[in-house]
């Protein structure tokens, strides 16, 4: 199976409001710009600036990103019929060779001491990226991306997203209850709401329960990361957007939900 992946992290429903849904997406970095054009999405993504070069090279070796559909060249943005025979085999070989070459030089840059924020850049066409997306509005994305004119990789991603949302069973919230991605059931009732809000935002910043080292941190550790995000100037506020509460006012890019980002910014700038 083509290794594009969609997981529903949290799906929340409050009567009279659009559902608020957080998805974790894994897809080829080559289509990342196309998802970024949708401004109704709140997003955080794994960064090649944060992942060690050796780990990135191993990830590419095990699972290099490549086209889903090897279409023939023609005028316009849509490819023609798929390559066949020796042309298809040659295209795949050339793509694979280019990936290995990029990895070779990325490894050399790492060995001479260049920081990963540059050494990883040359391999981005062959990388997968994990992105956390939270939104109340999805129709325009599906109209544009689940369409024959869309690039095959993002169309496949959109189809998986549509299916995941359709099959998801939402949690029903009551007045004052929050959408808190990545907060585990056993953490509710143990920590105050503010601690859970901060921990959720920190986990959204990492796009995962886990740290980049693959460890499961506790709420206290996550709150330290939150303080770095909210305490820096300028504030690193985008992860706070995934945490939200039902609201009857219009709020940023969500309809019917107030983002934790707004709460924190009101505290800082009021």
Mean pLDDT by 10 residues, the chain (270 residues): 87 97 97 95 91 94 95 94 97 98 98 97 96 97 96 97 98 96 93 96 81 70 91 89 91 93 89
pLDDT at position 18 is 96
Residue 208: the pLDDT is 62
Identify whether 134 is part of a domain. no
Phi/psi of residue 133, nearest 5 degrees: -125, 130
Looking at residue 207, its pLDDT comes to 86
Domain limit, last residue, from 125, 143, 168: 125
| Side-chain-facing half-sphere of 174: CA atoms under 13 Å | 0
In a domain, 76, yes or no: yes
pTM of the model: 0.93
∠ CA 52-57-58 to the nearest 5 degrees? 100
Query: How far from 123 is each of 100, 109, 137, 192, 259, CA to CA, in Å?
Result: 9, 12, 33, 43, 35
Q: In which domain, by residue range, is 264 found?
A: 177-269
Instruction: With H, G, I as helix, E, B as strand and everything else as coil, classify residue 268.
Output: helix
Q: Which is nearest to 57 in space by CA: 102, 27, 113, 117?
A: 102
Residues 106 and 182 occupy one common structural domain: no
Give residue 130's pLDDT. 93
Structural domain contains residue 15: no
Structural domains counted in the chain: 2
Residue 192 included in any domain: yes
66 within domain boundaries: yes
Look at residue 242 in the predicted model and tell me its pLDDT.
97
Q: Could you tell me if residue 42 is inside a domain?
A: no
Residue 147 belongs to some domain of the structure: no
**Looking at beta carbons, which pairs linking 210-219 to residues 24 or more positions away fall under 8 Å?**
212/50, 212/51, 219/187, 219/191, 219/195
Question: What pLDDT is stored for residue 232 in this prediction?
Answer: 83
Question: What pLDDT is stored for residue 213 in this prediction?
Answer: 52
> Nearest to residue 153, comparing CAs of 39, 2, 258?
2
- How many residues belong to the chain? 270
E strand or H helix at 165, and its extent? helix 152-167
Q: Of 125, 155, 185, which marks where a domain is finished?
A: 125
Q: Based on the domain organization, do 119 and 181 belong to the same domain?
A: no
The helix/strand count (H/E) of the chain reads as: 9, 7
């Amino acid at each position: 199976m083509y290794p594009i992946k969609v997981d529903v992290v949290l799906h929340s429903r409050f009567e009279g409001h659009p559902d608020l849904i957080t998805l974790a997406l894994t897809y080829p970095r080559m289509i990342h710009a196309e998802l970024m054009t949708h401004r109704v999405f709140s997003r955080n993504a794994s960064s090649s600036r944060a992942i060690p070069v050796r780990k990135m090279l191993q990830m590419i070796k095990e699972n290099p990103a490549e086209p889903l559909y090897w279409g023939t060249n023609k005028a316009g943005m849509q490819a023609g019929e798929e390559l066949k025979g020796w042309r298809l085999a040659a295209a795949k070989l050339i793509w694979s060779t280019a990936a290995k070459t990029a990895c070779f030089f990325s490894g050399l840059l790492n060995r001479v001491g260049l920081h990963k924020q540059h050494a990883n850049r040359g391999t981005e066409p062959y990388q997968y990226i994990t992105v956390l997306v939270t939104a109340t509005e999805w129709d325009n994305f599906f109209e544009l991306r689940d369409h024959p004119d869309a690039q095959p990789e993002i169309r496949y991603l959109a189809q998986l997203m549509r299916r995941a949302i359709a099959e998801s069973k939402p949690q029903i919230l009551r007045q004052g209850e929050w959408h808190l991605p990545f907060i585990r059931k056993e953490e509710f009732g143990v920590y105050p709401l503010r601690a859970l809000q901060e921990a959720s935002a920190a986990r959204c910043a990492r796009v995962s329960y886990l740290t980049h080292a693959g460890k499961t941190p506790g709420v206290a550790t996550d709150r330290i990361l939150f303080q770095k995000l909210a305490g820096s100037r300028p504030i690193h506020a985008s992860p706070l957007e995934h945490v939200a509460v039902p609201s009857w006012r219009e709020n940023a890019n969500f309809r019917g939900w107030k983002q934790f980002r707004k709460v924190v910014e009101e505290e800082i700038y009021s």
